[in-house]
Structure 1
Amino acid sequence: MTNEVNKIISVGFVKPPILGHKKRGIGIFGQNLMQALSKSKNIRIEEITVDDNKNQFDIIHYPYFDPFFLTLPFKSPVPTVVTIHDLIPLRLKKYYPAGIKGKIKWEIQKRVIRTASHICTDSFSSKEDIKKYLAICDERISVVYGGVDEVYYLPISQKIMDETAKKYNIIEKFILYVGDINYNKNIPGLLTAFSQIIQKENIDLILVGPAFTQKTVELDEIKQKIKDLSLGEKVKLVNYVSNMELRSLYKLASLYVQSSFAEGFGLSVLEAMASGCPVVSSRETSLKEICADVVVPINPYDETNISEGIIKALKDETLRNKNIQKGIAQAKKFTWEDAALKTEEIYLRVLAQYEKQE
C-alpha cells in the first residue's frame, strides 16, 4: 500500500474547527508542520475541513484536540493521527471549569481519542498528562517538538526597528511577553512582580497578543490589576502584530519573560532565543524541556522570585551575553524539518500497522 518505498502517502490535514484554535499557537503549529510536510517527496498533503470526504486519503491528521469540545469524528474510514498539544485544562481543572455540557463532551472525547491510530504531542510533559488523563499506553504516543521559523535568526534593519518602536510608542527599555491570558500564563503574577521591579528599574512591560485587546472577563481582571498596582502607562497592551513587528520587538526587548504555571510547548520562548533576546522563564512542565540551562529560572508561584530573576537578567551583563549565545544554539535544536521527518515516520508506522490488521 502507501508505505512502500515507491508509493506516496496521501494525507488529509484537518483545519481546526474552533476559530480560536486557528489564531493561537495551535493554528500556527499546524500551518508550519503542514508546510514542512509538503516538502517531502513521500507525502501528498492537502488541507481539508472536518466535513470533507476522507476516503480519498491514506491517513487523516487532526492537528488539534480540545477536551471540552467535540473536535473529532466518532468513526474514520482511514487511519487517524491526532495531535494533543496539552491537557492543561485538566491539569489545572480548578481554573478551567468545564460545566455540565463540557463534562459530557469530555467523556465523549475520551472515548473517541482512544480510537485514534496514534497520538502526537508537543512535549514529554504533555505525554505524561495524556497517559494520566486519557489512560493511553506509552507506545501509542509520540513527542514531536515544534520548530522555530528561520526568519527569527535573521538580522533586521535599524529602520524597521525604529518604525516598530515609533508605532508602539516605545521610548524606555522594556520587558516583553507574547501569548495568551489564560490562567496558566500567570499574567497577574507577572504584573505583581513588575510592580516590584519598577521600584528599582526604569523599564516598561509590553504584553503582546490578540487576547490583550479582546473584551473578556480575563482581560478585565488584568486591567483592574494594572490599575490596582498603579502601573499606568508602564504596561502596554498590544494586539496582533505582523511577523516583522514581532521580530523587531524581540530584538528591541531587554528580555523576554515567561512566568507560566504550565505550558504544552513554549514557542515564544524559542522565538525569543532565536532572536538573540535573553529569556527569564519558569521551568514548569514543558518549559523545563525547551529552556535547558539557557534562561534565568524563576518560580511562577513566587512574585518576588520572578522580580529578582528579571532584575538579575537585566543587570548581569556577563550572564546576559552568555545566555544570548546559548539561547540561539538551543533554539536551533528545534526545527520544523525535524518535526516533519518524525511525523512522516509516524505515518509510515501507522499505515504498516493498519495493513497488518486488514
Structure 2
Amino acid sequence: MAHTEKKNFLFDLTASQPNESGAYHGGGKYAKKIYFEFIENFDTSRWAIWALFDSSKPLDAEISEKSKTAAVTLIDVANRNLPEVVNELSIHRFYSALPLGTISYGFNSLMNSACEIYGTIHGLRTLETKIPFDALRYETGMKGKAGLLARKFLEKKLYNRDLERYGSLLKNTNVLAVSNHTKYSILSHFPAVREVPRVFYSPDVTEFENRDEDDSKGFALSGYFLLISGNRWLKNNLRSAVALDQLFSEQPALRHQVVVTGVSQPEIFLSRIKNKDRFIFYKYVSEGFLQTLYKNAFAFLYMTLNEGFGYPPLEAMKAGTPVITSPFTSIMEICGDSVLYSDPYSIAEIKNRILQITDPDSHRNFTIAGKNRYEKIKERQDKDLKEMVTYLLA
C-alpha cells in the first residue's frame, strides 16, 4: 500500500475567544461546537492538528481540556502573526469560524499563500442593513451618540471597506455559509463569485447553554414577555417595549410583565414607557439563567433587523415558548410557519401579533409548532455538522 504523507491542519480557536460582541457570543459557541466535532473525527493517519489561540484573552476551559485529551497542540498567536505560524508548521489547510476576525493576526497576507483556507461567513450584516437614525435612542451619553453618528456618517466608506474585505475573502477562501439566506446574499452582493458557497446550517449549541453558572436562584416569575439583547439597536427592542406598554394601557386585562435582558441603561426604555412597574431589566444574565427565562416566558418577542442564522428563536421554541419575530434575512428560513411574523418597524403590527398570541388556541398552536420546528431544524443541524467536518477534512 502506498504511503500517504500526513498533512498539517490549523484550526482557529481565536474565534471562540471574547471579541467586541462580548465574552460569550454566537460565533464563539459556533467555533467551539465545530472544534469538538472536528477533533473527535479527524484521521490521525492523514492529519496532524494544531489550534490557534491568543493568550491575551481567556480560552474556554473545556476547549483547553479537550485539546489536551486529543493531543492537539495549541499555538499562541498573541505575539506573532498568522503567516509566520503557517510557514513554520508547514500548514496545508487553515479553518476559521470568523475569518475576518483574524485580520489583526495577518489573515490578509495568508490569503496570498499556498495554504488552503476555509472560512465561515455567518452573514453580511454591514452590507445588508443600514444604521437607522433612531438607533441613537439606544445611546444616552454624548460619547455613544457621537460614535454612532460617526459610523452613520462614514457608512458608505465602511460599506466599501467591507465589500472589499468580503470580496477578497471570496476570491481566496473556500467559503461556508450558515444558511441559504447567507449563501444567496453573497451571490447577490458578489455576482462574479467563482465558487458558490457550501451551506451547512449553524450547529445546535444549546448543549453549552446550561454549563455556565446559573444565576437564576430566587427567580420565580413566569408568564412574562421576554426580550433579549436590549442595548443593541439591531435587535429593535424599543419598538417591542413601546408596543407592550401601549397594550398595557389599552387592555387592562393584559396583566403580563416584561423581562428585558442586556440592558445597561434602563432609562433608554423607561423614558419611553408609562407602565414602568411592568418592566424588569437585567444588565447581564448567565447562559443558564437565559435558558430559565426562555422556559418560563409566556412569549418571546424578537423584532430583529438582521440575522445570519437565528439562534434565539430556536432556543425559545426548544423551551416550548411561542415566538413573535420579524421576517427579515434568515429568520423565515429557520422559523418557517411556526412563529408569528410582524413588520419590525410597525408598532401597530407588533401590537396586533401580541394580541394574537394571547389567544389560548393561538398560544397552544404556536407552542406545539415551535417545538416541532426546533426538532426539524436540529435534525438538519446535526446532519450538516457531520458533513461539514467531513468536508473540512476531505
Deviation at 1:88, TM superposition (A): 1.5
Q: 2:6–2:48: 8 Å Cα contact kept in structure 1?
A: no
Match of 2:336 among 292, 300, 310: 292
Are 1:327 and 2:370 matched, yes or no?
yes
CA distance in 1, matches of 2:339, 2:121: 26
Do residues 203 (structure 1) and 204 (structure 2) align?
A: no
Which residue number in structure 2 is paired with residue 356 of structure 1?
none
Change (3 A) 1:38 1:223: farther
Which structure 2 segments of 5+ residues have no match? 54-76, 133-150
Larger Rg: 2
Return the structure number with greater relative CO, CA threshold 8 A, min gap 6.
1
C-alpha displacement at 1:253, in angstroms? Answer: 0.5
Residue identity matched to 2:385: A
Matches within 5 A, 1:62-81: 62-64=96-98, 72-76=107-111, 77=113, 78-81=115-118
Verify the 8 A CA contact 1:12 1:48 in the aligned structure 2: yes
Query: In the TM superposition, what whole-angstrom CA distance separates every residue of 1:56-81 from its partner, at most 9, and x where no partner exists?
Result: 343211212559x7673232441111
Distance 1:237 1:190 in 2: 14
Tell me the equivalent position of 2:40: 39
Post-superposition CA distance 1:290-340 (Å, at most 9, x none): 111111222212111112212211223x23222222222211222653342
User: Aligned pair in 2 of structure 1 residues 137, 315: CA closer, same or farther (>3 Å)?
Assistant: same
Structure 1 position 138, deviation (Å): 7.1
Q: 1:133 offset after TM fit, Å?
A: 2.7
Match of 1:19 in 2: 19
Partner of 1:190: 240
Shift of 1:270: 0.4
**Cα distance change, pair 58–310 in 1 and its aligned pair in 2 (3 A):** farther
1:76-132 deviations in Å (ceiling 9; x for gaps): 441111211111222123446373874674365245313333112222222222223
Tell me what 2:386 maps to.
341
Residues 123-202 of structure 1 aligned to structure 2 (within 5 Å): 123-135=179-191, 137=193, 139-149=195-205, 151=207, 164=216, 166-167=218-219, 171=221, 173-179=223-229, 181-199=231-249, 200=251, 201-202=254-255
Quickly say closer, same or farther: Cα 1:328–1:103, change in 2 above 3 A.
Answer: closer
Aligned to 2:310: 266
* Secondary structure of residue in 1 paired with 2:109: coil
Asked whether the 8 Å contact 1:283–1:291 carries over to 2, the reply is: no
Task: Figure out how many residues of one structure are paired with residues of the other and give that number.
Answer: 326
| Partners of 2:306 and 2:126 in 1: CA distance | 10
User: Kindly tell me: are residues 265 and 20 of structure 1, through their superposed partners in 2, closer, same or farther at Cα, counting changes over 3 Å?
Assistant: same
SS in 2 for 1:54: helix
Question: Separation in 1 of the partners of 2:50 and 2:246?
Answer: 50
1:330 aligned partner, one-letter code: R
Letter in 2 for 1:247: Q
Retained in 1: the 8 A contact 2:237–2:302?
Answer: no
2:69 paired residue number: none
Partner Cα separation in structure 1 for residue 206 and residue 129 of structure 2: 34
Question: Percent of pairs identical after alignment?
Answer: 18
CA distance in 2 between counterparts of 1:136 and 1:118 reads 15
- The question of whether the paired residues in 1 share the 8 Å contact of 2:129 and 2:305 is answered with no
Task: Quote the Cα distance in structure 2 between the aligned partners of 1:150 and 1:116.
Answer: 33
Q: Which runs of 5+ in 1 are unaligned?
A: 155-159, 214-218, 350-358
1:253 aligns with one of 275, 297, 306: 297
Alignment TM-score, normalising by the size of structure 2: 0.71
Of residues 103, 106, 112, the one that matches 2:168 is 112
Deviation at residue 135 of structure 1 after TM alignment: 4.1
Which aligned pairs between 1:277-316 and structure 2 lie closer than 5 A? Answer: 277-316=321-360
SS state at 2:386 partner: helix
Q: State the TM-score, normalized to the length of structure 1.
A: 0.78
Instruction: Give 3-state SS (helix, strand or coil) of 1:294's partner.
Output: coil
Alpha carbon RMSD of aligned pairs, Å? 3.4
Task: Classify 1:308/1:45 alpha carbon distance in 2 versus 1 (closer, same or farther; 3 Å).
Answer: farther
CA distance in 1, matches of 2:160, 2:260: 35
Structure 1 residue 175 displacement after superposition: 0.7
AA aligned opposite 1:202: R
Task: For residues 134-183 of structure 1, give each alpha carbon's deviation from its aligned partner in whole angstroms, at most 9, with x where no partner exists.
Answer: 445374312221133454999xxxxx99x83734xx54631112336433
Distance 2:301 2:271 in 1: 21
- 1:267 positional shift: 0.3
Change (3 A) 1:195 1:47: farther
Any conservation in 2 of the 1:123–1:264 contact (CA below 8 Å)?
yes
Shifted more, 322-331 versus 255-264: the winner is 322-331
Aligned 8 A contact 1:148 1:271 in 2: no
Report the residue type matching 1:166 in the other structure: G
